[in-house]
Amino acid sequence: MNIALYIRHIDPENQPRLDRLITLLNARGVATHIVRDCLPACPLDFLLSIGGDGTLLSSVHLIAQHDIPVLGVNFGHLGFLTAAGRDSLDSLVSDLMAGNYTLEPRTLLHVEANHPGGSLSTFVLNEVYLHRFVDQPLLHTDLYVGADRVATYSGDGIIVATPTGSTAYSLSCGGPILTPDSGCLVITPIGVHNLTLRPIIVPDSALLRLVTHSQPGQFSLGIDSRRQPLPHGTQVNLSRERFSIRLVRLGSQSFFSAIQQKLGWGGPAAPQL
């Protein structure tokens, strides 16, 4: 078995944990490969993303269309997308070697942004968002679903999130939680000035178009954990990516156990007075 360990940065305090993980895997006859910029030439059975959610989002772009299952190992803080913590390395390796895991397919969004100065084409796991700069006026964005114009969103910005991203930025802006297999996308306004514009859910087969009104200045285009400035008047086209990725769930873990444990969702009822 070949397993790649994707690492962007390891704090000195976590280096012994990383060393232990490699030792545990090697002791089971697993060949380990540290990767940062490219994959090894050999076929890979798994890619372990070592870090937090940001590291996992970055690792997705490394595997792209290779169909390699990704297992997140949380060496950071919340780590909602990760399946194991830095203090559960023994059980991680045991479950992986015993086949005690499930694979969750995750939808990706294809992103194309066209503007007078050029174009951008990529994919995301969590979300795409448009956000105004602090020193800029309100961002006015027209949303189209297919051929239908939905509304003009005037405010700080707008988010389009996959089910995976529904528990990230969209959730903090009042969006709903979507299960990974829901086949939907959620569109969530950010600081919108028209309070009748609420989050809406559309099928992930929909073709979405976001068009910022022409005006002086720039706005920020967020693509998962990356951001870049673009000029007003840019058109952003979104569609379901033709390939997906698979995240590893260990043992008896599920999506609902993750939101209960990591988001404190659906905890014990308050005592009755």
For the beta carbon of residue 205, count every other beta carbon within 10 angstroms.
Answer: 11
19, 45, 53, 224: which one is catalytic?
53
C-alpha dihedral sign at 251, 76, 257, 105: negative
Query: Rounded CA gap, 261 and 157, in Å?
Result: 30
Query: Rounded CA gap, 25 and 123, in Å?
Result: 31
**Strand runs labelled E in the chain:** 2-7, 31-35, 46-51, 70-74, 84-85, 101-106, 109-115, 118-124, 127-132, 139-145, 148-155, 157-161, 184-190, 200-203, 208-212, 218-223, 226-231, 235-240, 245-250
Q: What SS3 state is found at 63?
A: helix
Is 135 catalytic? The answer is no
User: Do residues 125 and 182 lie in contact, with contact meaning Cβ atoms separated by under 8 Å?
Assistant: no
Under 8 Å CB-to-CB from 261, ≥6 apart: which residues? none
Question: Of 152, 122, 117, nearest to 229 (Cα)?
Answer: 117
User: Which positions are annotated as active-site residues?
Assistant: 53
